[in-house]
Amino acid sequence: MNLAREIRYKPYKEWKQTDIAQIKENMATSPWHAHFHIEPQTGLLNDPNGFSYFNGQYHLFYQNWPYGPAHGLKQWVHLVSDDLVHFKETGIKLLPDHTHDSHGAYSGSAYAFNDKLFLFYTGNVRDQEWVRHPLQVGAWMDKEGHIEKCKQVLIPKPRDVTEHFRDPQLFNYQGQLYALVGAQDLQEKGKIKLYKAPHKNPEKWVFLADLDFEHPASEYMIECPNLVFIDKKPVLIYCPQGLSKDQLAYDNIYPNVYQVFQSFDPEKGKLIGSSPIQNLDYGFEAYATQAFNTPKGDSLAVSWIGLPDIPYPTDHFDYQGALSLVKKLTVKDKQLYQYPVESLKNLRGQAEAFKTRTKSSNSYELELVVSGKEKADIILFANNQHKGFQISIDSQAGLLTIDRGASGIQYASQYETKRTCQIPNESVTLNIYVDQSIVEIFVNKGQKVLTSRFFPQNGESGIDLVSGQVSGYYYEMRY
Ligand code: FRU
């Protein structure tokens, strides 16, 4: 939604309780609220931030402007979880209340040090002329949730980048602390800057290198870089805005991509032995994915189900955005697999045989096997004209296509209404999670992932098997 700058950047103190109450009232009338995905309490949700393990629990924040469905003065909103499926908002927020984050507490990461969680983020500062001064700043959160911001700027803007310098990710590699920061260089190309904290003190950083990740930069900016290690293989996940479509085919306004490497040489600032760059997700919207290695060494990720610069049908109800299910990352044959954490199975109700239904709760999982012999078409959110969100599998051609153009509220249509990805020329399994207006599809247990919104009208909730040999189960989700 286009709102005037004065509204979007109005200090939080100047809003009234009644403003929030009114937004909540309008939000409550939306027919599209998710049941087992994270949505904002109010306003706009974008990137996942500070995904970490601390004090016996998982911690996760989301970027938020609480006063409407627009990108305004951002804060971080805190959630905790024991099982990575049920998340609870704690009421704790990282507020834009300091001279170093006066125009927004932008995205970043978190890392536990003894009895405190360190939050490493971008302070978005604008001057009188509205010129942006991006600062990498920090804060300590104790076990009670009290947040104390670091007094000094931790990484000032280097001379060789523009105002686009943000989203620090702190990670540990072989006992050393490093950080990646996304940037745009003076030639307006995307860069990732690599830093090291030589004394294991996350308040003291030295520049190591512009990361060499065997990637010819065609994009104009890299947002949200993350490096995780999966069976010792480095996996780089990032958002290259303006990436050339000669380098990678994609249809969303901005892609979210990954590369798998053989090794990491931090002192030389190099990731070595890259697999080809690939889309992390083939659906209509998944962005700003944040991943981290847990203390046990697992790798977990969560994505924003949304995209920058796109109006959404929920704007009408004063909110926008959701977070994906938490996905566990693994690597097989240089390919990344992303699959919901095991504990999600606890939400499954009784297994029922998969069949056509004229109505459903729009809150279910389908676990299907699609025979490799012929084409299959499945329609979710189907209406009585058999129109809805269509999933088409053509195993001979090795293609899976989704199409949301036939019904539901149409939006972002300038980016087309279909998405396609390659699949093996054989039978495939599909795990499909439907949650009111969210569809997450996992092909072959996470070999390909397609994350999307679909906004049904008038209670459209059928499931149609239009053609093909498809067998499997329907599970009502209990939440
Ligand atoms: C990505 C992003 C980040 C930034 C944040 C601001 O969606 O643009 O680069 O830190 O959103 O909300």
Complete DSSP assignment for 34-67: -SSS---SSEEEEEEEEEEEETTEEEEEEEEETT
CA-closest residue to ligand 1 atom 12: 106
Mutate to test the pocket of ligand 1, among 103, 224, 287 (most ligand atoms within 8 A of CB): 224
Asked whether 460 lines ligand 1 (CB < 6 A), one says: no
Asked whether 241 lines ligand 1 (CB < 6 A), one says: no
CA-closest residue to ligand 1 atom 9: 223
Cα–Cα–Cα angle for 84, 88, 90, nearest 5°? 130
Asked whether 252 lines ligand 1 (CB < 6 A), one says: no
Distance 288 CA to ligand 1 centre (A): 8
Mean pLDDT of 78-91: 98
CB 449 within 8 A of CB 330: no
Distance 190 CA to ligand 1 centre (A): 15
If you compute the radius of gyration of the chain from its CA atoms, what whole number of angstroms results?
22
Mean pLDDT of 13-42: 98
Q: Per-residue pLDDT tens for 203-215? A: 999 999 999 999 9
CB 400 within 8 A of CB 393: yes
1 — pLDDT class (breaks 50, 70, 90):
confident
pLDDT at residue 293 in the model: 98
Which numbered atom of ligand 1 lies nearest the CA of 304? 7
Asked whether 75 lines ligand 1 (CB < 6 A), one says: no
Q: Which residues contact 257 (CB under 8 A, 6 or more apart)?
A: 237, 238, 239, 240, 243, 248, 277, 278, 279, 280
Q: What is the DSSP letter of 175?
A: T
420 — pLDDT class (breaks 50, 70, 90):
very high
Distance 106 CA to ligand 1 centre (A): 6
* Least reliable range by pLDDT among 14-28, 118-132, 370-384, 429-443: 370-384
Over the chain, what is the mean pLDDT? 97
Question: What percent of the chain shows pLDDT beyond 90?
Answer: 97
The predicted model scores a pTM of: 0.98
Asked whether 46 lines ligand 1 (CB < 6 A), one says: yes
CA-closest residue to ligand 1 atom 8: 223
pLDDT at residue 395 in the model: 92
* DSSP, residue by residue, 281-301: --SS--EEEEEEE-TTS-EEE
pLDDT at residue 410 in the model: 98
479 — pLDDT class (breaks 50, 70, 90):
confident
Mutate to test the pocket of ligand 1, among 71, 223, 226, 302 (most ligand atoms within 8 A of CB): 223
Asked whether 145 lines ligand 1 (CB < 6 A), one says: no
pLDDT at residue 183 in the model: 98
pLDDT at residue 83 in the model: 98
pLDDT at residue 373 in the model: 77
Active site residue ranges: 47
What per-residue string of b and e applies to 416-446 under the rule 16 or more CB within 10 Å gives b?
Answer: ebebbbebeeeebebbbbbbbbbbbbbbbeb
Q: Per-residue pLDDT tens for 331-363? A: 999 899 999 999 999 999 999 999 999 999 999
Asked whether 435 lines ligand 1 (CB < 6 A), one says: no
Residues linked to residue 139 through DSSP beta bridges, in sequence order: 119, 149
Asked whether 288 lines ligand 1 (CB < 6 A), one says: yes
CA-closest residue to ligand 1 atom 6: 106
Which numbered atom of ligand 1 lies nearest the CA of 47? 7
Which numbered atom of ligand 1 lies nearest the CA of 223? 9
pLDDT at residue 441 in the model: 99
Asked whether 292 lines ligand 1 (CB < 6 A), one says: no
Distance 321 CA to ligand 1 centre (A): 13
Phi-psi region of 299 (alpha: psi -120 to 50; beta: other; left: phi over 0): beta
Asked whether 281 lines ligand 1 (CB < 6 A), one says: no
The CA-atom distances, in angstroms, between 474 and each of 196, 237, 258 are 49, 32, 32
Mutate to test the pocket of ligand 1, among 45, 94, 107, 304 (most ligand atoms within 8 A of CB): 107
Q: Per-residue pLDDT tens for 240-298? A: 999 999 999 999 999 999 999 999 999 999 999 999 999 999 999 999 999 999 999 99
Whether residue 374 has pLDDT greater than 90: no
Q: Which residues contact 21 (CB under 8 A, 6 or more apart)?
A: none
